[in-house]
Amino acid sequence: MKFRRRSASAAAILFLVCVGLLADGHVLPVAYAQSKMSYSGIQVERIGVTPFFKGRYGSTIGDTLTCPICQLDLDPDGVSLIADRVLTDYVHEALRIRYGDKVIPLKKAQEAYENLPKDESKDTPLEIALKLGKELKADFMALGTVWKYREGAGGAGASDRPAAVAFAVFLVDVKTGKTLWKADFSETQKSLSENILEAKGFFKKGGRWLSASELAKYGVREVFKRFPY
């Protein structure tokens, strides 16, 4: 009995020491992916990425797809000028890992997007993605919106203001116009003392504050773990 009590006490002390040692560390958040679509097998032959849109609309992520682009709510202080390009690159990279050469080169998609006639007072992100998909002769198009992309302040060791990123990703069928999958990610990096359960993420990233780009890359990676195709 004494041995058991001592073992339990030692374990408790070890736990408290670990918490104390890690209390000043910082961790990665948990990605939140939301998708209630019904999945059926699809055969990808040609898939592309629409450049990300900035802003969101409505109370659910799906609302953003069907509102005119001009109605997207954008906080210029909370979204970096490079946010759309960074997220577009990371989503393209995630699709390349899955589909290889079936993914349309990003440069080609961007050039087609620039030349595509657009009326932001009427066109919705979904309509633009479908138009672009037809122009590129794609079967499926990924598109997304980013409404938060704030760089941290204070450096990697200690931050007065941690990085924050929020975005949504969608997959649409160019032929039918249907949304096949959707997911979102919205996080501000937390310190380990705020969430001890995230110790694994802390060690995984070397125990430091992340840049907005690193947090965005992490978010895309986590979201695509739930990608069903």
Angle in degrees, CA 220, 222, 225, rounded to 5: 110
- What residue ranges do the domains of the chain occupy? 26-224
The Cα–Cα gap between 13 and 36 comes to: 44
122 and 54 Cβ atoms separated by less than 8 Å: no
- The helix (run of H) or strand (run of E) holding residue 48 is strand 47-49
Beta bridge partners, 165, equal 149, 187
The Cα–Cα gap between 99 and 222 comes to: 18
The Cα–Cα gap between 140 and 69 comes to: 21
Per-residue pLDDT of the chain (229 residues; tens, 9 = 90+): 544 444 444 444 333 334 333 333 344 444 555 554 545 678 899 999 999 999 999 888 889 999 999 999 988 888 999 999 999 999 999 999 999 999 999 999 999 999 999 999 999 999 999 999 999 999 999 999 999 999 876 554 445 678 899 999 999 999 999 999 999 999 987 654 554 445 455 444 445 678 899 999 999 999 999 898 8
Burial class (CB in 10 A: 0-12, 13-18, 19+), 223: buried
The structure tokens listed for 137 are 């002769």
Query: Which pLDDT value is given to residue 60?
Result: 86
Q: Residues 26-224: name the CATH superfamily.
A: ABC-type transport auxiliary lipoprotein component (3.40.50.10610)
Query: Which pLDDT value is given to residue 207?
Result: 58
Write the CA distances from 191 to 112, 163, 170, 213, integer angstroms: 42, 12, 30, 18
91 and 220 Cβ atoms separated by less than 8 Å: yes
